[in-house]
Amino acid sequence: MHELEGEYVPSTAGWVRDQVEAFEASGGAEANTLRGGGDPIVVITNRGAKTGKIRKTPLMRVEKDGVYLAVGSRGGAQKNPVWVYNFRANPRVELQDGPVRKAYVARELSGDERAEWWEYAVATWSTYGEYQKRTDRQIPLFLLEPED
């Protein structure tokens, strides 16, 4: 795997910083669920669109046949999460699922392919459907496919 290199800038959100730190320190054995629940998360390392610095983002685990889906829901907020712009500018990412960390390429979905994956995302974590009702924007979806 070709690791993303550069200066790591932790999230400005304390809970994100803490979760990423605990997740990585334990090799993915701890802090691997959504805070306050049992829903599994993954941590995605990505490069900032503006700064070029390394960012780490915990996202809900939506996986099928070795590919992952990154859902830009931000809880149904009116604006996209910052990582959406990072993925668009720098699609090479690393994803850690438990102890396994691999390189992926993020590809934004549209049309029928997006519709199929949205259905799968909502079936995996029904709250996504509620988030879409809270916002006028179409929630961006990125398919993360193994780099090799």
Task: Note the CATH number of domain 14-146.
Answer: 2.30.110.10
2 pLDDT tier (thresholds 50, 70, 90): low
Quick one: average pLDDT of 79-106? 97
Closest CA to 139 of 63, 57, 83, 92: 83
Tokens of 74: 């931000």
106, 4 contact by CB (below 8 A)? no
Q: Say what percent of the chain tops pLDDT 90.
A: 92
Measured CA to CA, the distance from residue 75 to residue 69 in angstroms comes to: 16
Q: Where are the domains of the chain?
A: 14-146
Q: Is the pLDDT of residue 18 over 80?
A: yes
- Cα radius of gyration rounded to whole Å, the chain: 14
* Residues whose CB falls within 8 Å of the CB of residue 21, separated by 6 or more in sequence, listed in order: 10
